[in-house]
Structure 1
Amino acid sequence: MLEIGKAIVSFDVLEEHFLCDLTKCKGACCVEGDSGAPLTNEEAVKLEKIYPIVEEYMTPEGKAVIAHQGSSMVDSDGDTVTPLVNNRECAYTFKDKRGIVKCAIEKAFFDGKIDFRKPVSCHLFPIRITEYKRFDAVNYQELKICKPGRVCGIGQKLPLYHFLKEPLIRKYGEKWYEQLEYAAKEKPWQQISE
């Protein structure tokens, strides 16, 4: 583990390769899982505010879930998350012409209708951050559904931390990311073990 600021970063974040291959996974990360996407309190408030704009991109099923449960909810673990349709896909999803599950929030953002791209937990996936009182644990979550992303990342020689540069900067800032990048190049943990 590597400590940068208040974050404890798993070496996997620096050593693994990754590049989403939506043609193969079909956006499974928006469908699989035991709960909705984790949200900060600020993100939950933001989703409620932008929902009238985002809903035009959503499926009728997603709109019905939000009409019933609200734009966010608290799951069985006590975490604020996005609601799910039939305990599966995120309510904020839709399928494109190729059958790939995509994010309605992100679509509204790319169409210039809102200034919020999507929840940071989604933007960072497959990195998961667990926030504790004194530090954040930053880990790579290796899932079977993301095997195409690992294969594609290895083929393109794209490290996970490079693939997720934008959301890591969004979460921790430019200077933090520069320190992460420096550590990835210098690999001080390997020098200690030699």
Structure 2
Amino acid sequence: MIEIGRTILSDDVFEKHFVCDILKCKGACCIEGDSGAPLTDDEAMMIELEYSNFENYLPEKHIREVEKQGFSVIDSDGDLVTPLVDNRQCAFSFYDERGILKCAIEKAYFEGKSKFRKPISCHLFPIRITEYKRFDAVNYQELEICKPGRECGTSQKIPLYKFLKEPLIKKYGADWYAQVELAAEHLDRQK
């Protein structure tokens, strides 16, 4: 484990290779799991404020679920998360013409219709952050659905922390990420 600022990163963040291969996994991370994507209070507010900018990408069934459940819900663990459709699929997702599950929030962002890209928990996946009083635990969540991403990352020799550079900087800042890179160099020299 590596301590940087108020974060503790598991060795997997440096040692595991990963590049999302959405053509193979078909966006399974938007449908697999026990509850919706974790949200901050600010993200829940942004989803509500930006909803009209991405609502038209959602299937009618998803729109009805959002109307029924709201823009965010509290799951069985007491965490704020995105609502689900049929207790599985994120309500803010849709299937594209290739059968790949995509994020409607992110689609609106890339089309310049929204300033909010998507929840940081989604952007960082498969890294999961657990916030404690004195530190954040930054861990890799290895799931079977991400096997294509591990294979793709291994073939390209891209460590997880490099693949997730943008969302890690968004979460913790460029100075923090520069320390992650220094830690990675140090670990490489030790091998």
Q: How does 1:1-194 map to 2 (within 5 A)?
A: 1-187=1-187, 191=190
With 54-63 and 81-90 compared, the bigger mean Cα shift is at 54-63
Partner-residue secondary structure (3-state), 1:87: coil
What CA distance in whole angstroms lies between the structure 1 residues aligned with 2:121 and 2:72? 14
What CA distance in whole angstroms lies between the structure 1 residues aligned with 2:147 and 2:44? 30
Q: Deviations over 1:63-102 (max 9, x none)?
A: 1110000011111111000000001110000111110000
Q: Which runs of 5+ in 1 are unaligned?
A: none
Once the 2 structures are TM-superposed, how far is the Cα of residue 156 of structure 1 from its aligned partner? 0.8
What CA distance in whole angstroms lies between the structure 2 residues aligned with 1:60 and 1:89? 14
Once the 2 structures are TM-superposed, how far is the Cα of residue 61 of structure 1 from its aligned partner? 1.5
Partner-residue secondary structure (3-state), 2:112: coil
What CA distance in whole angstroms lies between the structure 1 residues aligned with 2:13 and 2:48? 32
Once the 2 structures are TM-superposed, how far is the Cα of residue 146 of structure 1 from its aligned partner? 0.2
Percent identity for Structure 1 against Structure 2: 65
Q: What count of residue pairs does the alignment treat as equivalent?
A: 191
The TM-score with structure 2 as length reference comes to: 0.98
What CA distance in whole angstroms lies between the structure 1 residues aligned with 2:41 and 2:122? 15
The ranges of structure 1 where at least 4 consecutive aligned residues each deviate by more than 3 angstroms after the TM superposition are none
The TM-score with structure 1 as length reference comes to: 0.96
What CA distance in whole angstroms lies between the structure 2 residues aligned with 1:2 and 1:186? 11
With 36-45 and 55-64 compared, the bigger mean Cα shift is at 55-64
Q: RMSD of aligned C-alpha atoms? A: 1.2
Partner-residue secondary structure (3-state), 1:115: coil
Partner-residue secondary structure (3-state), 1:187: helix
Q: Which runs of 5+ in 2 are unaligned?
A: none
